[in-house]
Amino acid sequence: MGRALGLPLLLGIIILTYEETLSSGEGMQHVLAEKFLHLFNQHLAGNQLPPLEIDATELAGARLQSISRQVLERGLLRRDLVITGSCLEQTSQEMPSDLYFYVPANRSEAPPRYGKRGVLLLEWPHILLDVVMGSGSIFPVFPPRRIEDFPRPEEQIELVDGGFAHNSPVEAAVLWGATHIVLIEATPRQRSKRGNFLRNAGSSFSHLHRQAQLLDARSRGQVTVFSISPEPPHICVLDFAENLIADSIERGYRDAGKNITGTARFRKELGKPVFSNVSLVGQNN
C-alpha cells in the first residue's frame, strides 16, 4: 500500500521538477493535421471546389504547413482573420512580444493599423496553422509552438496563447476599423474570492491577468460591443469528458436564446457615437 501511495507523489515530483509542460502537444498536432484536412475538404466539396492536395507520407508538421499554404494561396478565406499570439521566447528583440497575425479577405483594402505588431500571413502562408496551434497553447500545460526562420532566416519565436495579453482581442477589431463587435466570452463574469493563501494566490493571478487586458478594456469604450458569457459553474479548460463538453454546448445554446422560449443574454455596451453625412433629396436650399 505504501508503494502505491508513493507512486502518485513521485510522479508529481517528476512533473514539477523535471518536465517543462504537462503535455508534449504532439497529439494536438496530429489531430489538427488529420481532422482539419478532412473538415476543410468536406467544406470544399460542398462548394464544388477541388480538395487540398496533401502528401499522406509527410509528417504532421509538414502537412500543417502544406495545408496552410494552400488555404491562403488559393484565397479560400471568406472573412477577415486576426489571430493573437504572445511570444514566450524570441530571437529578434525588435519584434513586440504580442502579435496580431492577420489575413484580409479583400486583398485590395487598406491594411489594419497594427504597426510593428501586425504580421501579414500572406507573406508567411506556411505558418497559418502553426500560429493557430501557438495561439491556443496554454503554457505551461501545453508547450509553446516554435516557428522557425521567422521573422528572418535562422531566427525563431515560441508562440503561446494570445489570451495572456488579449483574452478578448477587441483592440484588434477596433484597429481594423470595426464599429460594432459581437463578443463571445469563454469564462463567466465573476470576481475572484479571497480567503486562505491558496485562494488569495489564485485571486492575485486573476488580478494580474485582468491588468494585462487593459488595452482591450480601453478599446471597448470606442465601439459598440454586444457580449455574452457563460453562467457559473463553468468547466475547466482541462475538462475533456464528452458529457461535460456536451452540457456546456447545450448551455451555450440556451444562453444565446436558441430555444422556443429563451431570450439571449447579450449585454450591450455603447461606444463613441458614429456620425455620417446625410444629404436631403428634393429639399430647396
Predicted confidence at residue 239, as pLDDT, reads 76
CA–CA distance, 82 with 108 (Å, rounded to integer): 17
CB crowding 228-246: b at 16 or more within 10 Å, else e = bbbeeeeeeeeeeeeeeee
177 C-beta neighbours (distance < 10 Å), count: 12
Mean pLDDT of the chain: 81
pLDDT at 10 over 60: no
Predicted confidence at residue 244, as pLDDT, reads 86
As a dihedral over the C-alpha atoms of residue 196, residue 199, residue 205, residue 209, rounded to 10 degrees, the angle is -130
Lowest mean pLDDT among 15-24, 36-45, 52-61, 140-149: 15-24
DSSP helix/strand/coil, 255: helix
Mean pLDDT of 31-46: 91
CA–CA distance, 80 with 162 (Å, rounded to integer): 18
Query: ∠ CA(18), CA(19), CA(24), 5° rounding?
Result: 160
What string of DSSP letters covers 13-79? HHHHHT-S-S--SHHHHHHIIIIIHHHHHHHHHHTT-PPP---TTS-HHHHHHHHHHHHHHTT---S
pLDDT band at residue 24 using 50, 70 and 90 as cut-offs: low
Lowest mean pLDDT among 57-66, 184-193, 246-255, 276-285: 276-285
pLDDT band at residue 176 using 50, 70 and 90 as cut-offs: very high
Predicted confidence at residue 197, as pLDDT, reads 62
Burial class for 146, CB neighbours closer than 10 Å (0-12, 13-18, 19+): middle
Residue 91 CB-half CA count within 13 A:
12
The one-letter amino acid code at 140 reads P
pLDDT at 18 over 80: no
Residues in the chain: 285
Mean pLDDT of 135-153: 88
pTM for the whole structure: 0.79
pLDDT at 22 over 80: no
Predicted confidence at residue 103, as pLDDT, reads 96
Taking the alpha carbons at both ends of the chain, their separation in whole angstroms is 96
Could you report the per-residue pLDDT of 225-246, keeping only the tens digit for each?
888 888 777 777 777 788 888 8
Predicted confidence at residue 30, as pLDDT, reads 87
pLDDT band at residue 219 using 50, 70 and 90 as cut-offs: confident
Residues with Cβ within 8 Å of residue 227, at least 6 apart in sequence:
182, 183, 184, 185, 266, 267, 269
Mean pLDDT of 11-36: 71
